[in-house]
């Protein structure tokens, strides 16, 4: 059987912020949603339960660290955390800062837009530095 190539195996998936042996964190190219991050498992795995329990725990600790950092750095009105994998069956989590005036709020970002996009400027350098610092700390704790 000829399987379709996996885009998350072939490409980084966005602007690389952090990479470990197990996972990577990227900033997605989503202009209407600055700060939208993905936490991507490096190995091609389709479902969370395909991962051993310890690796699931590590991955979720990273997802929560990314959420916490986005909240502290950007102060969004809400955070959406989602793992779908219908179009790309490779374990990855979306961590999306949301604002009440964003294009889709209160619906998911994948729904039909509710309004015109409002330009939102964030300090991406500050977010990237905060994410790198948080993930370095998380990895140093995990090694202890």
The predicted model gives 1-25 an average pLDDT of: 87
Q: pLDDT exceeding 90 applies to what percent of the chain?
A: 81
Q: What would the pLDDT profile of 35-71 be if each residue is shown by its tens digit? A: 999 999 999 999 999 999 999 999 999 999 999 999 9
pLDDT at 2 over 60: no
Q: Is the pTM of this model over 0.85?
A: yes
pLDDT at 119: 85
Per domain, the residue ranges of the chain are 7-143
The Cα 103–Cα 21 span in angstroms is: 35
Cα torsion 108, 114, 115, 118 to 10°: value is -10
Q: What would the pLDDT profile of 114-129 be if each residue is shown by its tens digit? A: 999 888 889 999 999 9
Q: 118-124 long-range CB contacts below 8 Å, 24 or more apart?
A: 120/34, 121/34, 122/34, 122/35, 122/74, 123/73, 124/27, 124/34, 124/35
The predicted model gives 76-99 an average pLDDT of: 95
- How is domain 7-143 classified at the CATH fold level? HIT family, subunit A (3.30.428)
**Is the dihedral angle over the CA atoms 59, 92, 11, 2 positive or is it negative?**
positive
């Amino acid at each position: 059987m000829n399987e379709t190539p996996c885009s998350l195996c072939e490409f980084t998936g966005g602007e690389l912020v952090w990479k470990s042996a197990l996972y990577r964190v990227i900033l997605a190219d989503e202009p209407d949603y600055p700060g939208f991050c993905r936490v991507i498992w490096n190995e091609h795995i389709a479902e969370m339960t395909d991962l051993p329990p310890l690796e699931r725990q590590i991955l979720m600790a990273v997802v929560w660290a990314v959420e916490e950092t986005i909240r502290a750095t950007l102060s969004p009105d809400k955070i959406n955390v989602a793992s779908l994998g219908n179009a790309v069956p490779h374990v990855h989590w979306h961590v999306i800062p949301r604002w009440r005036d964003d294009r889709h709020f209160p619906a998911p970002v994948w729904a039909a837009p509710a309004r015109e996009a409002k330009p939102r400027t964030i300090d991406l350098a500050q977010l990237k530095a905060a994410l790198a610092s948080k993930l370095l700390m998380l990895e140093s704790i995990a090694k202890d």
